[in-house]
Structure 1
C-alpha cells in the first residue's frame, strides 16, 4: 500500500487523518468494502478516553441493520446516505501498534458500510460476520486504564471495566457474574 505519509512519520492530527484515510481507501479497494468516502468526514478527538474511534451519524428511527435504507425519503439526502463522521482518537493511535490501528480502522469501516447501506449499525451477527471477513475484532483493544475493574469473586474472571462511577460500580452487590453467578469484586 503506497502511503503518502509513512506510519512512523505521523506527528500531527492531520497526519493521523491522512494516513488513516489512505489506508481505508486501500482497504476499500483490496477487501471490497462498499463505502462512499465522499460522504465521510474525518476528525481526530483529543477528548475521547475509552473509544479508539467512532462513526458519528444521524439516528434514523426506522432504520434496521440488514434492511437497506430508503435514503430517498430523507430530507437533504437526495437519495444517497447522509454524511457521517469517522472520529479517530489520538491517544489510541499513539498507544496502538500499526496492526492494532489498522484493525481498528477496518472495524470502523464495517460501521460506515452498514450505516450507508442500512441507515444504522450495531455489533450484531451481520457486523460479526463482516468483521471476520475483514480480519478485525468486534471490539477494539483498550488503550486507557479503567478507573474501576470488576471481577468474579469465585473464579477471578474479568466482568467489566468502567471508566467512571456508575450504577454497576456503586451497586455491585446487587449484580452477579455471568461466568459463575458469584458476587462482583472491585479490584
Structure 2
C-alpha cells in the first residue's frame, strides 16, 4: 500500500504506511542505522500519555553504548530480535506534521539504540543523537498530565506523570539528567 499524503491519513493502516515511509526517508537522508525488516508497526487508540513507543524485549546485560552480542540470544541468529513501533492515534490527531515527524525521529533513535545495544534510554547518547536528528528528548504532550516535574536549576522538563507514582511522591530523592539538580513539582493536582 502506497502511503497517502499526510493530510489524507484517515485509517490506522494509512497512519502506519505514512509513518513507515517517513522513517525510511529519515534513514536514507540522515543515516539512521535501522533494519526495518525487524520492526513491526501498531497503532494504539488507548494510550493517553505517550505519543509513540518502541516495545522490545528486556535483554540481560544490555547497556546503551555497548553493542549487544545478538549471537548470545537463542533464536536471534546474530540479528536483533524484532521490536514494535506503537503509534498513538490521539497524538497523531493532536500534533501538526512537524511535531509528528519529530516524534517519529525520536522513536527511530530508540529503535537504532535497541538494534545496536539491546536496550535504549534517554541518557546522554540519546540526547546527542536527538540533537543530530533535530528532535527532542521528550515528545510533546497531547493530554494534560496531573503532575509535571522540572529541574530545580534550569527549569527543564524532567517528567510528566498522569497518576501518583514513586517519582512524584519521592521526588526529593531524584536528580535531573540535565543539571543533576533536584526536582520540583511544577504542577500537581488541581
CA RMSD of aligned residues (A): 2.9
SS at match of 1:42: strand
Q: Flag the structure with larger Rg.
A: 1
Q: Is the 8 A contact 1:44 1:89 kept in 2?
A: yes
- Structure 1 alignment gaps of length 5 or more: none
1:14 and 2:8 equivalent?
no
Change (3 A) 1:80 1:6: same
- Determine helix, strand or coil for the equivalent of 1:128: helix
- 1:98 pairs with 2:100: no
Distance in 1 of aligned mates of 2:150 and 2:67: 40
Task: Work out the CA distance in 1 between the residues paired with 2:40 and 2:14.
Answer: 15
Q: Is the 8 A contact 1:176 1:183 kept in 2?
A: no
Instruction: Give unmatched runs, 5+ long, in structure 2.
Output: 176-180
What displacement does 1:103 show? 0.3
SS of 1:28's equivalent in the other structure is helix
Secondary structure, counterpart of 2:80 in structure 1:
coil
Q: In structure 2, how many angstroms separate the alpha carbons of the residues matched to 1:42 and 1:52? A: 14
Which residue of the partner structure matches residue 4 of structure 1?
3
- TM-score by structure 1 length? 0.84
1:1-150 equivalences in 2 (<5 Å): 4-148=3-147
* Offset from partner CA, 1:103-152 (integer Å, 9 cap, x none): 00000000000000000011111111111111101110100012345789
- 1:171-186 alignment, distance < 5 Å: 171=169, 175=172, 186=188
Runs of 4+ in 1 over 4 A off after TM superposition: 148-152, 156-160, 174-185
1:34–1:113 Cα contact (<8 Å) kept: yes
Question: Alpha-carbon deviations, 1:59-85, whole Å to 9, x = none?
Answer: 012111111111011011011000000
**Alpha-carbon distance change, 157 to 120 in structure 1, aligned in 2, over 3 angstroms:** closer
Render the CA deviation track for 1:78-98: whole Å, top value 9, x for unaligned.
Answer: 110000000000000000000
Which stretch shifts more, 139-148 or 27-36?
A: 139-148
